[in-house]
Every structure is written in C-alpha cells, then in structure tokens.
Amino acid sequence: MSSFYDALNWRYAAKRMNGHTVPADKVARILDAAHLAPSSFGLQPYTVLVVDDPALQATIREKAADQPQVTECSHLLVFATWDPVEEAHVDELIERIATERDVDPAELSGYRDMIKGTLQQRTPEQRVEWAARQAYIGLGTVLSAAALEQVDASPMEGFDPVALDAVLGLRDRGLHGVVLVALGYRDTETDWLAGLKKVRWPRERTILSIS
C-alpha cells in the first residue's frame, strides 16, 4: 500500500473469506493498533478477545446468523465491554498513570475525581453504552490497521449477544460482547462484492465546512 488513502480505498467488508491464515506478525500489529487506540479518559473500558480455534468459531457462527466469515476467517476478534464499568477501574488507571509517568498519585487526584464524577452521572446501563462507544473507536482503529496490512477485516453486529456471552463465558469475566471482526483474506471467487466499485455519498454530503 502506497498510502493510508489507498488502503482505505482497497478495504471493504468481505462477505466471504478463503480460509488462509494471516501471518502472526500482521495479526500482532493489528492487535497493537487496538491496544493503542484512543478512548475517553484513556480508560479503554473493553477487552478484545482473539478466537482462532475452528471448533469455537463454528459454535460462534451458529449464534451469528450463520455468517460464513466467522469460520472462513483466520482470526475472529470479539470486542467486549466491561460490564459493569466501576469506579475501581478509575483507581487502577490512576495508579498505572502514576507508575508509568513516575508521578505522585496525589497529583492526579483532580483527574481521578473528574472521571469518577462523570461515571457517577451515568446509570450502570449508560456506562456500558458509553463503553461500547469506546470499543467502536478501537474497532475503527483495527479496521484501518488491517487495511494497511492488506488484511481483510469485516465488522459484524449480526449476532445474539446473550448467546455469544454464554459461549465465551464473558459474563464470568465481567464482559459483554458488542461487535465482532473477522480477519482474513477475501475470496474473490465467491464474494459477490469483491472487485466492485466502492460506493459512498458524494463528499460534499458527508463533509461540511461551517464557518
């Protein structure tokens, strides 16, 4: 890829994949992008689970509207939000910031109180919804990173979240699945979308300059 722009033009949400394995170094860089993705307050209130076991992928496919990418992909990423999002998580973040930046945690008390105050204004359900929005920032970062690696990445919301949580034991981990991403390589022979021109609204409809 010669540029980020070229990578975005190349990518699309592949509906069929050819089953080829994505090299470990490429997967690692894509996951590094998820790890480095921005989030509100830097709290990163979600976990990305990596599924590459064919049997488990087959079980997940049953809960995901039988979408073929789930089993045809190399790696299936599950973005799962923390549920619940608690003030104790804020304390952990502040301690980590203090350690990494070699500062006294007391100097971060104002930041700690501001984050906790924001959480206190939200119900538990609203906190989970907020966490899901942060996960989608990570999702966008992963899709872009995969495009730069010339790895297809198909985001999927079409699944039974309660069933997915049960299959992966997410509730026991304090997690809740919100979106899937299939990493692999497009099957140009069976995917009807492969090779078709990318269609977007005219740029002037999507991008508005207000002055």
Each residue's pLDDT tens digit in the chain (211 positions)? 569 999 999 999 999 999 999 999 999 999 999 999 999 999 999 999 999 999 999 999 999 999 999 999 999 999 999 999 999 999 999 999 999 999 999 999 999 999 999 999 999 999 999 999 999 999 999 999 999 999 999 999 999 999 999 999 999 999 999 999 999 999 999 999 998 999 999 999 999 999 8
The predicted structure's pLDDT at residue 2:
63
Are the C-beta atoms of residues 12 and 150 closer than 8 Å to each other? Answer: no
Identify the CA nearest to 48 among candidates 5, 77, 91. 77
The predicted structure's pLDDT at residue 77:
98
The predicted structure's pLDDT at residue 124:
93
Range of the domain at 17: 4-206
First-to-final CA distance of the chain:
35
The predicted structure's pLDDT at residue 182:
98
Q: Determine, yes or no, domain membership for 42.
A: yes
Q: Determine, yes or no, domain membership for 107.
A: yes
- Amino acid (one-letter) located at 185: Y
Where residue 34 sits, what CATH number does that domain have? 3.40.109.10
- Local structure of 48: helix, strand or coil: strand
Number of compact structural domains in the chain:
1
The predicted structure's pLDDT at residue 24:
98
Q: Determine, yes or no, domain membership for 211.
A: no
Q: Determine, yes or no, domain membership for 111.
A: yes
Non-local (6+) Cβ contacts of 160 within 8 A are 63, 64
